[in-house]
Structure 1
Amino acid sequence: MKTIKKNILVAPLNWGLGHATRCIPIIRELEKNNFIPIIASDGNALALLKKEFPHLLHLELPSYHIEYAKKAENFKWKLIKNSPKTIAAILSEKKIVKKWCKEFGLSGIISDNRLGVYNKKVPSVIITHQLTVLSGKTTWISSKMHQFFIKNFTECWVPDFDKNFNFSGKLGHLKDSDLNIHYIGILSRLKKKELPIKYDLMVLLSGPEPQRSLLEDKLFDELRKFDKKVIFIKGIVEKEQKKEQLKNITIYNFMTSAELEVAINESEKILCRSGYTTIMDLIQLEKKAFFIPTPGQFEQEYLAKNFKRSGILPYSKQANFKMEQLKEIELYKGFPIVLEPMDWKKLFILFESE
């Protein structure tokens, strides 16, 4: 008797590329476990997943209109200013998903931080490492609002461990909660490979504009003083991949997961943002790094400070960064090696019910 494959909607938020890239292993495992993933997002996140999974169905969701300010202190106010558009997008995607549930006969929904992508009649999961949403003096409001939305989902998957030693700290761990939280371990699209070191430094950029471009300009200026071999990934998803050589620097606009996996494994040290998806990748590949958190993004600043305080990795504010600071990497112990595999079958049981 032929098994009927079930359709599962996978919908990451388009905010940088981290939400999309950490959905890649989930999409791969859904296919391995006899499900049919349907991908939904917008902007660069959707463009990236189209390149990774050209054989799958791709649907477009409304944009959350998340924008960064040029000055860190204006970041929160920019988010507040755009919040009516974000709320409108959340309400809109809820209606769209209701229609898709009937149209595609969905048996499950996996949303990565898209707050309106759920349906009460379909098992719905939200992936987030931010049960607490840091926003300065308004942290308690932003956290309560996020938790209010999380309650609409059947389960909440947190890419971390529920242990004394964990990676998300107070972001992903609450003292008291009635949320249906499942700690799923390290979520990364990459695998460690024993490859010869080809580059002394990888610069890995990501995140929304204008901060991505501001850091790119600063780093190219700083790299003039660096005479070792560098691979520089700009994190701009375009139709065609572009490669340039600028003296000792090999530059790419973007890389596919397979290419990036090789390049990181071939790199001695990584210079990057302290985004949570990047952190998961560094843990998986057992790489040492130096962080430059996105200015004004409380989550990245908290994670960078937390890892420095724990003696794991150093960081610098974007405005203060100098290439000489990379020497500090040797003074830190790096991430601990994690050997616990992901139990995909256990996670996907939710979608097996008739």
Structure 2
Amino acid sequence: MKKRILVAPLNWGLGHATRTIPIVHALIEEGFEPIIASDGDALLLLKKEFPNLTSLELPSYHVSYPKNGRYFKIKVLMDSPKLFSAIKAEKKITQTIIRKHNIWGIISDNRLGVYHEKLPSVFITHQVNVLSGCTTWLTSKLHQSFIKKFNECWIPDMKGALNLSGELGHITSFKIPIKYIGPLSRFAKIQTPIKNNLLVLISGPEPQRTLLEKKLLTELKTHSGKIVFVRGIVEAEQSIQTINQMTIYNFMTARLLEKTINESALILSRSGYTTIMDLSKLNKKAFFIPTPGQFEQEYLAKRLAEQGLAPYCLQSEFTSHKLREVHQYKGLQFEFPKTNYGELFNSLFQGK
């Protein structure tokens, strides 16, 4: 019987789910049997990508954003009792899953309660340090206290000076082993003619996802050239709508999205870390709009701009004219090291 590995990404936008896709593929190639666990859109997306794998539902963290990004920290503080309750519930459910499905090991992408003291458990994150303004020291310490309950921490980035996460994913010392596994992307660069002037990618917690969608649909009405607009809403069936020069999808499968990104001259999106990894892998030109109040995305967008790679602006300041700034930037040009999944898996899961 193949050793079963529980793979559990956080449902916070689609980034955590999409970056586990190459890990699930690698587990299968290395002879393991992945069991998928998440909730909401993240779980729906992974079910579509891996219809033949067992998928299980975990409690929702009920992550949402205020309409005004300035109140984000207050909203998170108010929601913290629900968050800790969900973490406690998912830890209990994880124990049940382990017994029922004969789980051999765990890979959790930012699900703080999905681990077990007697099983090899991995935590994937690009944020060992959690930026939150003047409270960064507190949020980082709290997050690190959860990470230390796992056996290893895998950071999807490079260890050296040339990296994507900056101070988010780099720390001088830590209680458990940290392994830099290289940026994770489900996509491959394809040499293909450019067919789309602009590709818009939206995802993330509500209501900010909807607020950005409405703003962009209005602002881009007069934008010249062919536009593909992906709303980032995972539903039972794919829907496609055409309005003038714009084609609107509710979601795209990985294969179609890979093809569409490769065929697009410019990508407009949030500055989420998974999106940055994907666009860097495909060496694309990009314009970023950080989620209001999310310090991590603001930091990443500002860092890329300072490096001369991609421009950004605040959501409230965006107009279609700002896309002209892209010509002044080099684009996301990175060479990714190849991840040795066999070594990663076997060192942790085979010897237990």
Q: TM-score range by the shorter chain?
A: over 0.9
The answer to whether the aligner puts 1:208 opposite 2:205 as a matched pair is yes
Q: How does 1:25-44 map to 2 (within 5 A)?
A: 25-44=22-41
Deviation at 1:178, TM superposition (A): 2.6
Q: Please tell me the root mean square deviation across aligned C-alpha atoms, in Å.
A: 0.9
Match in the other structure for 2:223:
226
Tell me if structure 1 keeps the 8 A contact 2:15–2:274.
yes
Match in the other structure for 1:279:
276
Match in the other structure for 2:305:
308
The answer to whether the aligner puts 1:126 opposite 2:111 as a matched pair is no
Distance 2:325 2:56 in 1: 45
What's the CA shift string for 1:185-227, capped at 9, x where partnerless? 0100111111111101000111111111111111111112212
Tell me if structure 1 keeps the 8 A contact 2:232–2:251.
yes
Match of 2:186 among 162, 185, 189: 189
The answer to whether the aligner puts 1:12 opposite 2:45 as a matched pair is no
Length-normalised TM-score, structure 2: 0.98
Tell me if structure 1 keeps the 8 A contact 2:7–2:106.
yes
* Runs of 4+ with >2 A deviation: 175-179
The answer to whether the aligner puts 1:47 opposite 2:44 as a matched pair is yes
Matched residue SS, 1:144: helix
Tell me if structure 1 keeps the 8 A contact 2:121–2:151.
yes
Matched residue SS, 1:63: coil
Matched residue count: 351
Match in the other structure for 1:264:
261
Match of 1:66 among 54, 60, 63: 63
The answer to whether the aligner puts 1:217 opposite 2:214 as a matched pair is yes
Deviation at 1:235, TM superposition (A): 0.3
Q: Which amino acid in structure 2 is aligned with residue 342 of structure 1? A: T
Match of 2:146 among 149, 168, 171: 149
Match in the other structure for 2:249:
252
Distance 2:132 2:336 in 1: 33
Match in the other structure for 2:99:
102
Deviation at 1:138, TM superposition (A): 1.1
Distance 2:328 2:286 in 1: 11
Deviation at 1:177, TM superposition (A): 2.5
Match of 1:295 among 292, 306, 314: 292
Deviation at 1:105, TM superposition (A): 1.3
Match in the other structure for 2:349:
351
Matched residue SS, 1:267: coil
What's the CA shift string for 1:224-269, capped at 9, x where partnerless? 2212101000000011100011110011000010110000011011
Q: Which amino acid in structure 1 is aligned with residue 216 of structure 2? A: L
The answer to whether the aligner puts 1:199 opposite 2:196 as a matched pair is yes
Distance 2:66 2:226 in 1: 33
Deviation at 1:116, TM superposition (A): 0.5
Deviation at 1:137, TM superposition (A): 1.4
The answer to whether the aligner puts 1:169 opposite 2:197 as a matched pair is no
Match of 2:321 among 319, 324, 327: 324
What's the CA shift string for 1:302-327, capped at 9, x where partnerless? 00011111111100100001111111
Q: Which amino acid in structure 2 is aligned with residue 96 of structure 1? A: I
Deviation at 1:339, TM superposition (A): 4.1
Specify every segment of 5 or more residues in structure 1 that has no aligned partner in the other structure, as ranges: none
The answer to whether the aligner puts 1:138 opposite 2:125 as a matched pair is no
Tell me if structure 1 keeps the 8 A contact 2:182–2:336.
no
Tell me if structure 1 keeps the 8 A contact 2:286–2:332.
no
Deviation at 1:175, TM superposition (A): 2.8
Q: Which amino acid in structure 1 is aligned with residue 150 of structure 2? A: F
Specify every segment of 5 or more residues in structure 2 that has no aligned partner in the other structure, as ranges: none
Q: Which amino acid in structure 1 is aligned with residue 306 of structure 2? A: R
What's the CA shift string for 1:334-354, capped at 9, x where partnerless? 223314211111111111124
Distance 2:125 2:42 in 1: 16
Matched residue SS, 1:153: coil
Distance 1:165 1:288 in 2: 19
Tell me if structure 1 keeps the 8 A contact 2:151–2:176.
no
